[in-house]
Structure formats: structure tokens, C-alpha cells
Homo-oligomer: A and B are copies of this chain.
């Protein structure tokens, strides 16, 4: 019988978080600011989210995580695919708003390890899956040694992307080249 939770308010809060991050650092975002921007009372935020970090978390999961859906279409060339993934990540981080979201993700993880680990897992999982699948195909094709460690490669790529976002310095083309070349040689069959 009670009035159900307002979907409009929920969306407005998440949207306000994204808007705020596009203009300011995560640290500069305040619950009061979000409430005002969303046209919502503070209590409504506190009723549904335990912390600013939680709002960010939901906003990220709802919107696009800055990497999760960067999983690029597979071709039949592993080298091309890996290069494409790193390049796509790098390109995304050239966009101010996306970069700020990525840095917010890092900030929240540095503050709230628990939630951070959870969000990072959500981010990492599809990348790991994608690399695993891609690698299996390459192994089957005899291009890659059977003991290549897909998780190690995926985590390494995510770490590189995360560190680049942290510094605000996207990976350059040459660096991408160097990394991919090294990895490809490192896992090449024979």
C-alpha cells in the first residue's frame, strides 16, 4: 500500500552524478549538490544509497563502465584484436567526461576497497572472458602456445588502462605497439 520508490528520482540522482563528474572531480561532488541538481531531497538519497560511493557505483553500472563495453568485435587476428582493445581504451580516455568517470572509479576504490573491488570485478570479468575466448581460438588455430595465461593478459591490460587513467595520460600509439608486440611474441606458438 505504500507509495513505491520513485524511479524518476532514482534516475535523476544517477544522472546528476554523471553530470557532476563531467564537471568536477569525484571528491568535489557532494550529496547535497547531487540532491539539488537532481531536484531531490537529501533523505531520498540516503534512503536508497549508503554512501556517495554507492551512488557512483550504481551510476557506473547503469551507464557504461569505462572499459566493460569497450570489448571490441573479434576478428580472426589476435594481434589486431588486442591492439584494437588498447587503442579503444586509450581513445575513450581522451574524452574528458569518461576520463573523469574512470578516475572517480579509482578514487572510490582507493577509499572504499570493498565496493571498489566489486566494481573492478564487474569491469574485469567481461574483459577476461573476451580475452579467454579470443585466446582459445588462437590456441586452437595453433598460433598461440597452449599454456598462455589469458587472465594475466587481461589483468595486465586493465592495469595499464587504469594507471593511464589515473595519470590522465592515455597510452600513445607507440606504447600500444610495444606492449602488443611483446605480448604476441610472449605467447606465440613454437
Spell out A's residues near B (CB within 8 Å).
Answer: 25-27, 103-104, 106-107, 109-111, 113, 116-117, 120, 148-149, 151-153, 155-156, 158-160, 162-164, 166-169, 175, 178-179, 181-188
Question: Smallest distance from the beta carbon of A118 to chain B beta carbons, Å?
Answer: 10
Q: Are the C-beta atoms of A182 and B149 separated by less than 8 Å?
A: yes
Q: Given A106-B110, A185-B185, A187-B185: A158 and B163 within 8 A (CB)?
A: yes
Tell me what chain A mostly uses at the interface: helix, strand, loop, or mixed.
helix
Chain multiplicity (copies) = 4
**Bound Cα distance from A167 to B26, whole angstroms:** 18
- 9 nearest interchain CB pairs? A186-B186, A182-B186, A159-B163, A152-B178, A107-B110, A149-B178, A185-B186, A159-B159, A106-B110
Other A-B contacts than A113-B167, A156-B156, A182-B186, 13 sampled, CB-CB below 8 A, are A26-B111, A103-B110, A106-B106, A109-B167, A117-B167, A117-B168, A152-B175, A153-B182, A155-B163, A162-B162, A163-B163, A182-B187, A186-B186
Which chain B residues border A184 with CB–CB below 8 Å? 186
Which chain B residues border A179 with CB–CB below 8 Å? 152, 156
Which chain B residues border A25 with CB–CB below 8 Å? 110-111
